[in-house]
Structure 1
């Protein structure tokens, strides 16, 4: 199992952002096999962690046209900066 950790400093959150986020979350589950998705915001900081069965699913998700459009809007409008980490989960405890 893999995790994608997305950390961002929010620049501007609007209705379009909320709409994209909702649609992309559902798309990740329905089309790309996302196992879980958790996002939290505090102040202008956002952290989202999604879990995936393999790296191929992550690559396919990253290349999805709607996700690519959201990435561009994120760079141009929604985030002043962001970072993405892809990690392999080697242990998990209850």
Structure 2
């Protein structure tokens, strides 16, 4: 998935993950692709947007409910990726969960 996610009418939820990586690939790209594919198949998943430069990465996933977010957080493969993130891939990260109450979309 690339580009801007086309989400339904609000309300829905956004999980904003911002990170600074450690040096080296260490399998990160493959795991990131696998997590997007797996998340996309989860009940309640609405879309994803992601961008990364050499210093900062930001990924926003969209979900229909807090329950869907909780189930994804606890998914065994996602938990394994979270562990690798803390031990190998990230110098630091933040995670924010927000309720989207309004949105607009423009396309030329």
Q: Which runs of 4+ in 1 moved over 2 A?
A: none
TM superposition score normalised by structure 2 = 0.82
Taking only aligned residues, the RMSD between alpha carbons, in angstroms, comes to: 1.2
Structure 1: gaps of 5 or more residues: none
Whose radius of gyration is greater, 1 or 2?
A: 2
- Tell me the equivalent position of 2:54: 43
Number of equivalent positions:
94
Structure number with higher helix proportion: 1
Report matched runs for 1:1-94 at 5 Å. Answer: 1-14=12-25, 16-94=27-105
Structure 2: gaps of 5 or more residues: 1-11
TM superposition score normalised by structure 1 = 0.93
